[in-house]
Amino acid sequence: MRVYHGRGLRKKGGTGGKRRKHQDKKLRHVGGEFTAPKVAEEKEVRVLVGRRGNGKKVKLKQVAYANVVAEAGKVKRAKIRTVIETPDNRHYARQNIITKGAIIDTELGKVKVTSRTGQDGVVNGILVK
């Protein structure tokens, strides 16, 4: 199912006054649903999705590893254990859903996620001290 990200057609304004419809819904305002990438045991699951303009986007469904920037800017690949906390929704941590800004527990320690995992197709993060 697609999600409409534009403004509603007949809503009230900030002052309570009625807004009149000045155009129909446009296809450019239609987006996809939230992917909700979860922590996997071993196998990672990626889905290739078509976009407007004949582009492609890789979405993550299940993820097992993260690219972590450790000391001196070195990048290491670490296995993800669990999601500790998420700023988006407190229930995402309980369901092990990874979003941008989430704190995850890895083999190297606590990591803050800096990538949009559902849209980028990869988990990047910075080691938290």
Average of per-residue pLDDT across 69-90? 93
Confidence of residue 10 (pLDDT cuts 50, 70, 90): low
For residue range 92-109, what is the model confidence (pLDDT) as tens digits? 999 999 999 999 999 999
Q: What's the 3-state SS for the chain?
A: CCEECCCCCCCECCCCCECCCCCCCCHHHEECCCCCCEECCCCCEEEEEECCCCCEEEEEEEECEEEEECHHHCEEEEEEEEEEECCCCHHHHHHCECCCCCEEEECCCEEEECCCHHHHCCCEEEECC
- State which residues form the domain around 69: 35-127
Residues 29 and 39 in one domain: no
Q: Tell me: do 4 and 57 sit in the same domain.
A: no
Record the pTM.
0.79
pLDDT tens figures, 21-37 = 778 888 888 888 888 99
Q: What is the arithmetic mean of pLDDT over 48-63?
A: 88
Same domain, 110 and 67: yes
